[in-house]
Amino acid sequence: MLKAGDVSSVKVFKTSTIKALNEVIDHERLGLFPSASSVDRARAKLDQYAFEVIGYERWKTVYREDFFLNFEKALRYLLKACQLDDLATKESVKISLSIDGADLFKDRTHVSAGVKITDTRGVHPVTKQPLYCIDDETKEEKIVKIQSSEMCCILVIADARDKKELYEEVFKEFYEWGNRISTTGLPASNGEPALLPFVVTHTTDQKASWHLSNRGGGCKNKFFFCAFCPCTKNNLVSYKINHH
């Protein structure tokens, strides 16, 4: 029930859903289906366990609230779940850092950033199915479930509007960490071995690309309106005048 509530879209799976299912399935209160209160207790225990195992910090900023997980611990646990932790001590493992904003409801947004395993030498963290396999009959190469949400871990959540200043100030530490592990890896700490530098790629949506590159947007308002080429607003004006 916790997972269904966490990964479902807003308003799709609510507390009222659990109450309704409980009344239908367990109307005689035989313990056949959890109540909303038991789910809430489990959520509190899960939150406390996550805090003890991985840890997080809550920051109050001008952009409301920001939550930072322990980057290193979260990445190490994700590597272990995908059975790439031992390989990471011998070879560079491929990961991706991503950031995206989303609307929660009217006039309320949040922006989250995280890490994703993209190395096909691992396994799916839940099913333990290899991410890369070869069909015995057809010899066809297949990449399986590499796009699964189970391959990801959120590292930063900002309860704030998606804008340029947020990327430059709040998410600065996230990007600096990404650059650091791509050049030096992770040092040995708390009984965990040192990991070699990672092959890090960055995947962002278009709006995030605009903010991070300081390019892109409406060509009437932005000098560099394209995030991928040196064309400027003046180029368009000159073209229009010369071809009028």
- CA distance readout (Å), 67 to 20, 35, 189: 32, 29, 23
pTM, 2 dp: 0.74
Residue 164, H or E segment: helix 164-169
Closest CA to 76 of 68, 88, 59: 88
Q: What is the biggest distance separating any 2 CA atoms in the chain, rounded to whole angstroms?
A: 81
Tens of pLDDT, residue by residue, the chain (244 residues): 888 777 776 667 778 888 888 888 888 888 888 888 888 899 899 989 989 999 999 888 777 788 999 999 999 999 999 999 999 999 999 999 988 877 666 666 788 899 999 999 999 999 999 988 887 788 888 888 888 888 999 999 888 777 777 777 888 889 899 999 999 999 999 899 999 999 999 876 666 556 555 666 666 666 666 666 667 766 665 555 555 5
> Which residues share a beta bridge with 142?
133
